[in-house]
Amino acid sequence: MNFKAEIDIMPLEAILDPQGKAVTQSMGNLGLNEISNVRIGKHITLKVEANDEAAAKEKVDTACKKLLANLIMESYTFTLTEV
């Protein structure tokens, strides 16, 4: 079976996000003062071949923990769709 994984990786709330802070400040320059606390992360899509959804979830979880996310500074979530 083939699955498409959509992974979102974000900095932990306790970690300073310099990109997000810069964008937040720029919102004020654009007259968008109502927008605040911007956080910038990564969105990754990938294809997974697995026997079933549980095996695909395990593979994606392993990829996130071992390669895609720095768990000291980031958290991740993902969804799987059968394709």
pLDDT per residue as tens digits for the range 27-73: 999 999 999 999 999 999 999 999 999 999 999 999 999 999 999 99
pTM of the full structure: 0.89
Q: Which tokens hold the place of 36?
A: 């605040």
What is the reported pLDDT for 16?
Answer: 94
What is the reported pLDDT for 4?
Answer: 98
* Contact of 83 with 42, CB cutoff 8 Å: no
What is the reported pLDDT for 26?
Answer: 96
Q: Give all strands (DSSP E) within 12-83, no chain letters.
A: 42-49, 74-82
Q: Tell me the CATH class for 2-82.
A: alpha beta
Query: pLDDT by residue (tens digit) across 2-18?
Result: 999 999 999 999 999 99
